Each structure stands twice: as C-alpha cells, then as structure tokens.
Structure 1
Amino acid sequence: MNLGMIFIWLSLVTALGAVLSGYMEHRKSNTSVGTLSRKLEISCLVLAGSSMLLLMYHLYNVNASYSYVFEHSSTDLEWYYRLSALWAGQEGSMLLWAVSILAILGIVEHTHASRLSGTTLMQTTRLISLSVVCVFLGLLVLKNPFSAYHVLSGSSVEVTNWDPFVQMYDVPYGQGMNPLLRNPWMAVHPPMLFLGYAAFTIPFAAAIGNLLTHDKRWEAIATNWMRISWLFLTLGIGLGGFWAYEVLGWGAWFWSWDPVETSSLLPWITATAYLHAQLRYRQGEYGFVAPLLAVTSFIMVVFATFVTRSGMWTSVHSWQDFTAESAIIAVFLSVLILSSTFLLAKRYFEED
C-alpha cells in the first residue's frame, strides 16, 4: 500500500475542509473560527508533514520503486545528499513549501492568539493562507511525489499517480541526483529559498485582510514575517551564488542574469521596499503603498515559481516543459493579480 500517496490525498481533503468549515463557522459567528476548522488544519499539517518525512525516509533508503526516489537518489550518494534530494525536484520542493506554510501559520496563530484571535483580520489571514496551501497540495496530487512503478498485465512497467493500492514494481537501484546538484551549497540553498517563499504567504494574507477589513493591525502580523522572509531569501540567493560560482563557472560576480535567479531577486526587492515603507506606515503614511508591496512580494514569488516550472525560459534551474501543472500555476498567478488589483484599486480610490 502506498501510504505516502494516501497522505497527500488526505492532506488536500483536510486543507479544503479547513477552509470551507472555517469560512462557514466565521460567517455564522462573525467573531471566530470553530474547533472543526482548527482540527482539520492540524490534521493537514500532520498528514503533509508525515508524507514529507516518509518521502525523506524512502530517499535515504533508496526505495527506487517510487519514481521520485529513482530520479533523485542512489546508493552511491552520501547520506546528506540523499536527504537533500527532497528538494532536488519540483514535487519534493513543493511538498516542503506546503508544510512550511502550515507550520508558519500555526506559529502565527499561536503568537497572536491573545491580541488578534477571533478578529476578522486574523481569520481572513488564516483562510487565505490555507487557500494557498490547497493550491500547492492540489499540484502535488497531480504531480505526486509518491508516484510508483507497477507492472501491467503484460511485462511492461508503468507509473501511477492515482492508485495507492497497486502492487509496486521492485526497482533495484536509483539513477541518482543530477551531478550539478551534488554540491554542499545545494544542500542548504533550496530550503533557505523555500522557507523564505513560504513566509511571504503571511504578509500577503495579512495585507489582503487589511484591504478587506481596514484593520491596521495587519502590520503587526506582516512586518515580522516579512523580515523573516527577507532574511531567508537573502541567505538563499547568496548560497545559490556560491553554488553557481563553484559549479557553473559564472565567475566572481555570482550572477549571470539567469531567468530563475533574476525572478528570485524580484520578491527580494519588493520585500526590501516594504521594510522601508512600514517604518513610515506606523506614522500614518503609505496606507496604500505598504499593502501594495506586501501583495506584490507574494505575487513575485508565484511568478518566480512559474518561471522555474513552466519551461518557457531557458535556465539551468528549469525542471520541465509547459505542462498541466504549469497551467495551474499560471491560472493561480492570474487570479492573484486580478483579485489583488481589484482590492488595491478599491483602496486607492477610497483614500482619494
């Protein structure tokens, strides 16, 4: 039985349930989200976290019956490269991203429980963050990290994304990680980047909450997490520069204007601008610019994800050609841009 595949499916179901029940409970009470939604959120974190740990276990033990393990792990790799193979491909990195958002959201709810618990702002921030998680988990269902090889009625072997009860084919070895990724810097560069990307979700959700509720306390949620996002993104970009210097031979500049590298710089620029703007926001200024920068930072993160996964730009970081998953990210990006533009335009004309 493919337990990891079941965990992925159940994590998506519980995430959707947390969003829907949270919305209904908040709409009914108009003050707080009930216990059902919170229990489903915790269940989602446990299921998604368990699936990530299970995938790392398979990567470490080189259980190559799973296609992701076959493509990224092998017995000749050192143990730390087997574990870092989790983020060597798009499925594992997306799973790490989703789990990080859920963990960060739990920290946000705990740290602001005394002051903002039960407020419309906090519930909006929570439900928007969970909605983002649903998108990532939906992508993981389509491009499952626990896809397994199995034998058809004849002698041919096929990969399944959907059936967790299929008899898996015993693959004796894995082909191993891309040689370009077998570098100590790549063992730490991607998780720093994805932790930064995940943390951007909170300022975005809080900014949307502010645009919907006019609650100025959103800055208390957004600013600290924007600082954390900026820190991890800075570390991720810097460590990636060292990797490029050693492996790709880009020279002492660390930068070759690679599309994926450049796209990761965009949210760093908008986050830096936000951290400057919020200093004046507390003085009553930048009531429009501060949420604009918080929203734009997350949109740039999704855009960077699209650049990496769409295959539309030639890059040493790109994983694939344009697929159904790329189309979903493109739709998600379009929805973010259109809805955010509408809310920001509404705020702009209200201030005028």
Structure 2
Amino acid sequence: MNTGMGLIWIAGASGLLAFLTSLFSVIRQDRKFMVLSEKLELAGGAGIVIAIFLLVYHLLGVDTEYSYVFQHSSTDLAWHYRFSALWAGQEGSFLIWTGFIFIMLAITRFTGTGKILRETNLFALMRSVSLFVASVFLLLLALKNPFSMYYLTGAGIPEVTNWNLFAEPFVVSYGQGMNPLLRNLWMAIHPPLLFLGYAAFTLPFSAAIAGLALKDNRWSELATGWMRVSWLFLTLGIGFGAFWAYEVLGWGAWYWTWDPVETSSLIPWLTATAYLHAKLRVRQGEYGFMLPMLALVSFILVIFSTFVTRSGLWVSVHSWQDFTTEGMIIAFFLLVLTGSSTVLLARKYFGEE
C-alpha cells in the first residue's frame, strides 16, 4: 500500500471537512461543529506533517518507485541535497507550504492573542478562511501527489499513478537527481525561508477577511505578529536568494535582476513593510482602511507569485512548467481571493464615508 498517497488523501478529506464544519459552526453558532472541526484540523495537519517526514525518508533512501523521488533525488547526491529535494519540485513545495499553514494555525490557536480570542466569532471566521486556503493547497496536492508511484501496466509499460493506493510499485534503477543549478548550499536555506514567509501571510489575510466581514477591529491583533514573521522570513529568503543568484547565475555582477518570479516575491515584501509602518499609525486613528487592504493585498500577491512560478506564462529561471490544471486552479483561487477582498474593502470604504 502507498502510505504516503493515503496520507495525502486523508489529510485532504480532513482539511476540507474541517473547513466546512468550521464555516457551519460560524453560521449556526454551534460549538459542537467547532469542536469537530478542530479535531479534523488536527487530523489533517498530522497527516501532512507525517507525509513530509515520509517523503524525506524516501528522498534520502532514493526510493525511485516514487515519481517525485526519481525526478529530484539520486544516489550520487550528498544527503543535504537529497533532503533539499523536498522543495525542489512543485509537489514537495506545496507539501511543506501546507504543513506550515497547519502548524501556524495551531500555534495561533494555543498562544498569544489567538488563545485569548479563541472563543470569539472573529477567531472562528479567521480559522475558517485559513482552512479554506489550506484546502486549496490540499486539492493541488491531490492532483499532483508527491507520492505518485510508477507501476507496470498490463502491457508491461511503466506508468505513473497518483490515485491507486495498491498499485504494485515498479522500481526505476536510478534517479535523475537534482537540477545542477540547484546543487548549492543556498538550496537548503533560500526556498524554505520563502515558503515560511508565504505561509505566514495566510493568517493576516484570514484575520483581515474576518475583521472586515464582522466589522471587528481586533483582527489586527491576530494579524500583526504573523505579518512580522512573514516580513522576517521573506527578507531572509530574498536576501539569501540574491546571494545564490550572484554566485551561480552571475547576473552581470549584480545580486538582483528583474526576473519575473524574483520580482513577484519582492512586491509582497514591500506591502508587508508598508503594513508594519501603517500599523504604527493606526492607534492615532490613521490608515483604518489601508491596514486591512495591505494585509489582503500581501497574500494575494503571494498567490500571484505562485501563479507566475507555476503557470509557465512568464519566462523565468524559477518557473517550472507550462500552463496546466494546477495553474488554472491557482488562477481561479486568485480570482476568488481578489473578488472577495474587493467586495469587503468596498463595503468598508463606502461604509466609512
């Protein structure tokens, strides 16, 4: 049995049900559904975290019956490159990104302001929005499963399955290994820092949506700490990425070039910086509209950056593939985020006039 694939499916089902029951508890004001949602969230998060460790195990062991391992790991790679292969491809990067969201949501629930506001409608709706975001990533993982496995068809031809848990694995004799450009120390540092920063943007976005929907100004108490986390990790990720580019690509002796993906990661850093500055002035009654706008726009820009990287519509050293089903899902997700944010911001803007 393909345990990793099963974990992804279980986590996906648990995450989706956690979102639906959480939303239902907000609508019905029924605590029983919230308790059920929290248990489902725990199951989904645990499934993803275990799947991450399992994928690392397969990458280190170069278990090439798994398509992802075959594409990104090989016996000639040092152990730290095999470990770094966890985020070398789309499937692995989505996996750790989703894991970070679940972990950060759990931290929010049990610590700081989140613990204080845990029983409020504000926190419940923020949690629902975060689980919706996680559910989209879980859908992407189900479609592009990091535990897709090679098997032999009846005609003896190797093919890949991402749904058959009980397919007889076909072990490929060697792995392709990592792209030579990625075989660098910065590969172990730069991508996970960016994904930590990207994942942390989920909480400010969700809090802003909840605050605007419920007209509860306490949302920034939930959001600002995670915005600082996002800014910190994004700063480190972009900085280390610049050193990596200078060292490997030699962009005309510059640490920065206006590569589409590189630039799309810088813009949410700028909006996060603006948010942190605006937050200092909110107590003086300023930026009441701009603060939630910056929280929303920052996360939307992160998803746009993801779309740029994974759609293949822009030529970049960072992009992975042509426009596929995953790209269309991200594009639709981007439209949903933008549309809902615009409606809530418009209601606040015109409501304040």
TM-score range (shorter-chain normalised) is over 0.9
Contact between 2:114 and 2:222, CA under 8 Å: does it hold in 1? no
In the other structure, the counterpart of 2:128 is 127
1:290-309 aligned within 5 A: 290-309=291-310
In the other structure, the counterpart of 1:144 is 145
Q: Which amino acid aligns with 1:14?
A: S
Question: 1:220 and 1:16 mapped to 2: Cα distance?
Answer: 27
3-state SS of the aligned residue for 2:172?
coil
Q: Percent identity?
A: 60
In the other structure, the counterpart of 1:79 is 79
In the other structure, the counterpart of 1:230 is 231
Which sections of structure 1, spanning at least 5 residues, go unmatched?
none
In the other structure, the counterpart of 1:313 is 314
Question: 1:306 and 1:10 mapped to 2: Cα distance?
Answer: 26
Question: 1:46 and 1:24 mapped to 2: Cα distance?
Answer: 23
> How far did residue 24 of structure 1 move?
2.1
Report whether the alignment pairs 1:281 with 2:282.
Answer: yes
So what's the TM-score if we normalise by structure 2? 0.98
Q: Which amino acid aligns with 1:72?
A: H
> How far did residue 30 of structure 1 move?
5.9
Q: Which amino acid aligns with 1:60?
A: L
Question: 2:308 and 2:97 mapped to 1: Cα distance?
Answer: 17
Which sections of structure 2, spanning at least 5 residues, go unmatched?
none
In the other structure, the counterpart of 1:47 is 47
Question: 1:129 and 1:250 mapped to 2: Cα distance?
Answer: 38
Contact between 1:26 and 1:32, CA under 8 Å: does it hold in 2? no
Contact between 1:267 and 1:300, CA under 8 Å: does it hold in 2? yes
> How far did residue 32 of structure 1 move?
8.3
Q: Deviations over 1:80-119 (max 9, x none)?
A: 1101100000110000000000000000111135420111
Contact between 1:32 and 1:123, CA under 8 Å: does it hold in 2? no
Contact between 2:212 and 2:344, CA under 8 Å: does it hold in 1? yes
Question: 2:250 and 2:232 mapped to 1: Cα distance?
Answer: 26
Question: 1:275 and 1:285 mapped to 2: Cα distance?
Answer: 13
Contact between 2:109 and 2:118, CA under 8 Å: does it hold in 1? yes
How many equivalent pairs are there? 352
In the other structure, the counterpart of 1:257 is 258
Contact between 1:33 and 1:118, CA under 8 Å: does it hold in 2? no
Report whether the alignment pairs 1:347 with 2:344.
Answer: no
3-state SS of the aligned residue for 1:34?
helix
Contact between 2:109 and 2:115, CA under 8 Å: does it hold in 1? no
Contact between 1:32 and 1:117, CA under 8 Å: does it hold in 2? no
Report whether the alignment pairs 1:165 with 2:166.
Answer: yes
In the other structure, the counterpart of 1:338 is 339
Question: 2:80 and 2:6 mapped to 1: Cα distance?
Answer: 27
> How far did residue 286 of structure 1 move?
1.1
> How far did residue 154 of structure 1 move?
1.5
3-state SS of the aligned residue for 1:159?
strand
Report whether the alignment pairs 1:214 with 2:218.
Answer: no
In the other structure, the counterpart of 1:326 is 327
> How far did residue 342 of structure 1 move?
0.8
Cα distance change of structure 1 residues 114 and 241 upon mapping to structure 2, 3 Å threshold: closer
In the other structure, the counterpart of 1:68 is 68
Question: 1:334 and 1:343 mapped to 2: Cα distance?
Answer: 14
3-state SS of the aligned residue for 2:318?
coil
Question: 1:114 and 1:39 mapped to 2: Cα distance?
Answer: 17
Question: 1:31 and 1:220 mapped to 2: Cα distance?
Answer: 23
In the other structure, the counterpart of 1:8 is 8
Question: 1:312 and 1:151 mapped to 2: Cα distance?
Answer: 34
Stretch moving more, 209-218 or 97-106: 209-218
Q: Which amino acid aligns with 2:100?
A: S
> How far did residue 209 of structure 1 move?
0.8
Q: Which amino acid aligns with 2:160?
A: V
3-state SS of the aligned residue for 2:160?
strand
Q: Deviations over 1:239-297 (max 9, x none)?
A: 11111011111144211111000000010010011001011112222111000000000
Cα distance change of structure 1 residues 114 and 75 upon mapping to structure 2, 3 Å threshold: closer
Contact between 2:145 and 2:162, CA under 8 Å: does it hold in 1? yes
